[in-house]
Amino acid sequence: MCQDTPLAGSPERAARRLAEIRASRRSVLTAAASGLAFSSAVGAAAPAGAASARTKKRCYVLVTDGCRPDEITPTLTPNLHALRSGGMWWPRATSMPVMETIPNHVMMMTGVRPDRSGVPANSFYDRELGEIRDMDRPSDIRVKTIIERLGKRGFTTGTVLSKEYLVGIFGERATHRWEPELYIPVSGHAPDLLTYNALTSMVDEFDPHLVFVNLGDIDRVGHTDLTGTNLRLLRQAALLDTDLLVGRFIDSLKSSGAWDHSMVIVIADHSMDWSIPTNVITLQGAMDEDPLLGGNVVIADNGGADLVYWTGPSGKLDKAVKRIQQIAEATPGVLKAWDRRTPWLRLGPESGDVVVFCQAGWRFSDPDPITSNPIPGNHGHPATRSIPFFIGGGHPVVKTGKVFSAHARTVDVAPTVARFFGMPTPKKRYDGKPRI
Amino acid sequence: MTSTTPPTTPPTSSSSPSSLPRRTVLATGAAGAAAAGVLGSGVRPAQADPTGQPGQAGAAERAKAKHEVFQHGVASGDPLPRRVVIWTRVTPTPAATAGSGKGGPVTVTWQVAKDKRFRKVVSKGRFLTSAGRDHTVKLDAKGLKPDTEYFYRFRALGQKSPVGRLRTAPRKRAALDNLRFGVVSCANLEAGFFSSYRGLAARDDLHAVLHLGDYLYEYPTGGYGMGQGNVVVRPHDPPHEMVSLEDYRRRHANYKADPDLQALHARYSWILTWDDHEVTNDQWKSGAENHDESEGDYKVRRARAHRAYDEWMPVRMDGTAALGDGTRLYRRLRFGQLAEVSMLDLRTYRDEQAALPGVDPTVSDPSRSITGKKQMAWLKESLTRGDHAPQWKVIGNPVMIAPVTFGDLPNDLIDPINDVTGILPGDGAPYNVDQWDGYTADRREVLGHIRDHQVKDVLFITGDIHSGWACELPLDTSTQPLYGDSYGVEFVCSSVTSNNLKDITGVPQLTPIVETAILANNRHIKYLDFDNHGYSVLDITPARAQMDWYVIGARDDAATPIEWSTSYATQAGTGRITPVDAPLEA
């Protein structure tokens, strides 16, 4: 089952995780004037302006989850379009493999690829546990994030994340955190209006130097939009709404004067592709029927990508990888089956032994062809790699109306934020590049 | 143009100077027989020489006064960051005309300098040429700096060549604000003067010139003249169809003697590919429409054509400027992070055109190819070359890739349209089997590859069809108007001189009817001009790519005026086309 689907979350699971986070001795719960509750690091729940790092600079990373770059238009998303036109824009920007939510949010905040961060996908096979699970544990990230680096230097940070597994994996890293009390059943996320309220409330109450925001509506509606292959009616409604909220946030920065020293990065973690019910790929059955692979293969379904794990004897790994590739590439709808060790993929062992991508207009449903992944909207495959990536803001570092040919990537966010705040380059360098 | 069948009737007009428009004759008289291609003196319109042709005879006339060693100008091409191909031909004696095989070996020296007076020479050398290579000189000038303008010239037998100007490509990782190309195709010498070349040579804002093919034509004199009357504005040399190696060499010399062509070659580096007429009409990998057994083995003929092309054109074949080391013309040229130009060869490897378009399933047979297997893999690699590929994937595309389908087109118009474009066979079936429409499996493979990898900013720049087009590239034309999916954009330049619809029908009033019908039935086609000749200017920035179409007046007037016609642009990341109100500032 693709874990980046609206069926992934459950109220019980969210409540359990929230309780675990709040039970931590390192957090205190703060009720903001808005009525929303925030978790803050002990000693950090101070009013705005009390940060130890004295700078007016503010950075907001707004992730319009799942937004396609061609959806930023003057008519559909006028506020985003205006922000893009008035700032710095990278039309060639892309998500990185696997084009899923968790790994690309982690790349944004760590500045390194999955072979270093340890987070290659949403859903993976945990060999220690012997089960497929989400990468939603704080310990899944093996390196320091820009959130922690800033915190160490006295900057305050905030996370406003609409999705349960993002709240989970970023854990207590930020100084101030909004952890939604409840996620929408079925969709499994907090709606953008609530996320927006949390963002503005956090800025009003704590004014962190960096706020990392995930707006999940565009992605969640996109997943379930049955008109996605053609009209995208629901999707377009979500885009209109999210755009309005971004516009409101920008207006609030301008009216408060914060705009003049702010940098606003707008980016998506991946885009979106839609499939019809007949364009479904299931590899598990063919693997099970193979004399070599039968009983020795586990598949973690990531919507547009299958991560295939060899669980048989290590001495037969190379042979098994070739066989998995053969079977996968002979399956209609499969674009390519890569040996995970292929250097450019930069995926670590957590992503299995073979990474299989589907063609545009297809999706994986493993292990069951009917029930595992019934939704039309998916990502994870190369057809969902293009993303919006632009920087607005009134801070002088933001150039006006400048478009760049460079290939910007999700992994560039952390080094860009680091440069904005004058942070030194870490000993183990970023894989991304600063874009300012 | 690929599907034109040469008229079977003889030319209705002679090629004598007296048949030229009066103002052309006057212009010739005023300018005399001055050599062309001299930089810094402005760009003169082409002049007809006393024989009415710019070819061998003209050169011979001039040679009577003083033998000129450099009769065919200079040229440069295929710019890389540190080297550019430079070219010329020497005529060591009056008898050593192109294709003659006469004349001894000649050592030619060459220089590349930062200044036009050659006080700051940065690269120089010697080159030994001979009749074995038709006394052409072609080499890679190395040791240059990226994104820099240079001047170059040759010396031999006590004479200096005209001075040429070139510009190296930027470094691989350079961030560019813009890139600007002149775009041309389909220059038939007998159908008119090369005013389009004159127009481009007068500009000072280009990085290079893209030529999409049909640089010259194979027909005999009167085989494919101007318009309905088949007027021979300037005769071909040799007067018969080019078949032998000598023929091909002479025809190249014929064209290279044109002053407008010389001026544009001297002014900018060119990036060329061939279409069919560089060999013969509607060629495919083992034959051609315009080839029969009386003309010998087709592949032998093609080898001669390729040999002459390699000798006479400033291109790298198989990656080198050397002769005889291969004929692979498809290649990439990168311009920083902004763009990469992939020039296709859609003739040498293609399967034969389908015989019965529309009713013949051959057009969609996946075993047939317009690119050939290796070139298809190479093209797909051009589109998805990892994280460091440039932003704009510019495909130099000899024949149209956009699908063109028809609904209710008047039967009376089918023949004239087909004469120009080959789009419609007589039975009204909606395919031009010589274009990608005749190889739909290949087109699906390319556009599907773009879709599967969400490749953005793919720009097909096309010639061949003697008309201006701006098209979006859907996988499914039936749903595209509703859903708007487009996997790239195609801009098609018109012909320099080769006939278009108005020229064939002689009834300009018919054109709007045809254009309206095509646009109505092909909603992904945003612009179509069937009636004008000219050139285009393509400007690429990180934010958008814009094509300007310029049109010329009378083809038989060497000083004909040139006007801006229209402009269309595609914004980065969209694959869509929008009209633009004004041309680029030169």
| CA-closest candidate to residue B210, choices B561, B496, B585, B453 | B496
Structure tokens given for B18: 């007296």
Rounded to an integer, what distance in angstroms lies between the CA atom of residue B316 and that of residue B242? Answer: 23
A302 neighbors A270 (Cβ within 8 angstroms): no
> Would you state the pLDDT for residue B510?
76
In B, which residues are within 8 Å of A344 by CB distance? 386-387
Residues in chain A: 436
Measure A73 CA to nearest chain B CA, in Å.
Answer: 10
Q: How many CB atoms lie within 10 A of CB B9?
A: 9
A364 neighbors A305 (Cβ within 8 angstroms): yes
Per-residue pLDDT averaged across B72-85, rounded?
98
In B, which residues are within 8 Å of A230 by CB distance? 479, 482-483
**Percent of chain B surpassing pLDDT 90:** 72
Q: How far is CA B25 from CA A67, B32, B195, B227, B561, in A?
A: 63, 10, 16, 20, 16
Which residues are A212's β-sheet partners?
A61, A159
A380 neighbors A99 (Cβ within 8 angstroms): yes
Q: Does A276 touch chain B (CB under 8 A)?
A: no
Which residues are A281's β-sheet partners?
A364
Most confidently predicted of A153-167, A218-232, B36-50, B469-483: A153-167
Q: Does A389 touch chain B (CB under 8 A)?
A: no
| Angle, in degrees to the nearest 10, between helices B373-383 and B440-452 | 30
DSSP string, A16-45: HHHHHHHTSTTEEEEE-TTS-EEEEETT--
Architecture of the domain whose range is A27-272+383-420:
3-Layer(aba) Sandwich (3.40)
Which residues are A409's β-sheet partners?
A94
Sign of the Cα torsion B348, B350, B353, B357 reads negative
Question: Residue B169 in 3-state DSSP?
Answer: coil
Q: Do A92 and B391 touch (CB under 8 A)?
A: yes
Q: Does B481 touch chain A (CB under 8 A)?
A: no
Q: Does B187 touch chain A (CB under 8 A)?
A: no
User: In this complex, how many residue pairs, one in chain A and one in chain B, have their CB atoms less than 8 Å apart?
Assistant: 72
User: Model confidence at B30, in pLDDT bands (50, 70, 90)?
Assistant: very low
Which residues are B567's β-sheet partners?
B548, B580
> Would you state the pLDDT for residue B521?
83
Q: Report the residue of chain A nearest B576, measured CA to CA.
A: A70
Measure B541 CA to nearest chain A CA, in Å.
Answer: 8
What φ, ψ does residue B549 adopt, rounded to 5°?
A: -105, 130
User: Model confidence at B125, in pLDDT bands (50, 70, 90)?
Assistant: very high
In A, which residues are within 8 Å of B482 by CB distance? 230-231
pTM here? Answer: 0.87
Which residues are B106's β-sheet partners?
B129
Rounded to an integer, what distance in angstroms lies between the CA atom of residue B94 and that of residue B65? Answer: 11
Q: Report the residue of chain B nearest A84, measured CA to CA.
A: B543
Between residues 330 and 369 of chain A, which touch chain B (CB distance below 8 Å)? 335, 344, 359-361
Task: Please name the residue that has the structure tokens 């006393």.
Answer: B50
Task: Please name the residue that has the structure tokens 């108005």.
Answer: B502
Per-residue pLDDT averaged across B417-446, rounded?
73
Between residues 385 and 444 of chain B, which touch chain A (CB distance below 8 Å)? 386-392
Q: Does B293 touch chain A (CB under 8 A)?
A: no
User: Model confidence at B187, in pLDDT bands (50, 70, 90)?
Assistant: very high
Q: Does A75 touch chain B (CB under 8 A)?
A: no
Sign of the Cα torsion A239, B454, A220, A232 reads positive
Point out the residue among B338, B384, B386 whose CB comes nearest to the CB of A405. B338
Question: Residue A176 in 3-state DSSP?
Answer: strand
DSSP letter (8 states) at residue A312: S
* B39 pLDDT higher than 50: no
Rounded to an integer, what distance in angstroms lies between the CA atom of residue A105 and that of residue A119? Answer: 10
The interface pTM score, or ipTM, of the predicted complex is: 0.86
> Would you state the pLDDT for residue A10?
53
Q: Which of A81, A405, A436 to mutate to test the interface with B (most CBs of B within 10 A)?
A: A405
Question: Residue B151 in 3-state DSSP?
Answer: strand
> Would you state the pLDDT for residue A209?
97
Structure tokens given for A263: 């940098």
* B513 pLDDT higher than 90: no
* B276 pLDDT higher than 50: yes
- Residue, of B181 and B499, whose pLDDT is higher: B181
* B41 pLDDT higher than 80: no
Per-residue pLDDT averaged across B446-463, rounded?
96
Structure tokens given for B56: 């061998």
Measure B319 CA to nearest chain A CA, in Å.
Answer: 27
Q: How far is CA A225 from CA A26, A163, A219, B151, B158, in A?
A: 41, 19, 10, 60, 77
Which residues lie closer than 8 Å to B144 by C-beta, 6 or more apart?
B81, B82, B83, B84, B112, B122, B123, B150, B168
Q: Report the residue of chain B nearest A335, measured CA to CA.
A: B452
Between residues 80 and 139 of chain B, which touch chain A (CB distance below 8 Å)? none
Q: Do B176 and A405 touch (CB under 8 A)?
A: yes
* B437 pLDDT higher than 50: yes
Q: What is the pLDDT of residues A342-400, one digit of tens each?
A: 999 999 999 999 999 999 999 999 999 888 888 888 999 999 999 999 999 999 999 99
Rounded to an integer, what distance in angstroms lies between the CA atom of residue B460 and that of residue B449? Answer: 15
Q: How far is CA A142 from CA A119, A123, A138, B95, B224, in A?
A: 8, 17, 9, 79, 72
Q: Do B386 and A359 touch (CB under 8 A)?
A: no
Measure B167 CA to nearest chain A CA, in Å.
Answer: 21
User: Model confidence at B63, in pLDDT bands (50, 70, 90)?
Assistant: low
Taking 50 as the pLDDT cut, the residues of chain A under it are: 1-9, 45-51
User: Model confidence at B33, in pLDDT bands (50, 70, 90)?
Assistant: very low
**Ordered structural domains, chain B, with CATH:** 17-66+170-580 (3.60.21.70), 67-166 (2.60.40.380)
> Would you state the pLDDT for residue A300?
97
Q: How far is CA B498 from CA A20, A218, B216, in A?
A: 77, 52, 10
| CA-closest candidate to residue A432, choices A194, A90, A199, A175 | A90
Please name the amino acid found at residue B270: W
A172 neighbors A21 (Cβ within 8 angstroms): yes
Q: Do B542 and A360 touch (CB under 8 A)?
A: no
| Angle, in degrees to the nearest 10, between helices A217-224 and A233-256 | 180
Which residues are A306's β-sheet partners?
A301, A356
Give the CA angle between residues B305, B309, B312 to the nearest 5°: 135
Domain extent listing, chain A: 27-272+383-420, 280-375
Q: Do A386 and B482 touch (CB under 8 A)?
A: no
Structure tokens given for A407: 């290939």
In A, which residues are within 8 Å of B176 by CB distance? 405
Residues in chain B: 586
> Would you state the pLDDT for residue A206?
94
- Residue, of B403 and A28, whose pLDDT is higher: B403
Q: Does B332 touch chain A (CB under 8 A)?
A: no
In A, which residues are within 8 Å of B448 by CB distance? 359-360
Point out the residue among A94, A386, A405 whose CB comes nearest to the CB of B337. A405
In B, which residues are within 8 Å of A407 by CB distance? 337, 387-389, 391
Point out the residue among B386, B390, B452 whose CB comes nearest to the CB of A405. B390
| Angle, in degrees to the nearest 10, between helices A233-256 and A192-205 | 10
In A, which residues are within 8 Å of B487 by CB distance? none
In B, which residues are within 8 Å of A409 by CB distance? 387
Rounded to an integer, what distance in angstroms lies between the CA atom of residue B83 and that of residue B342? Answer: 18
Of A26-30, A103-107, B18-22, B288-292, the least confident: B18-22
Q: Topology of domain A280-375, per CATH?
A: Gyrase A; domain 2 (3.30.1360)
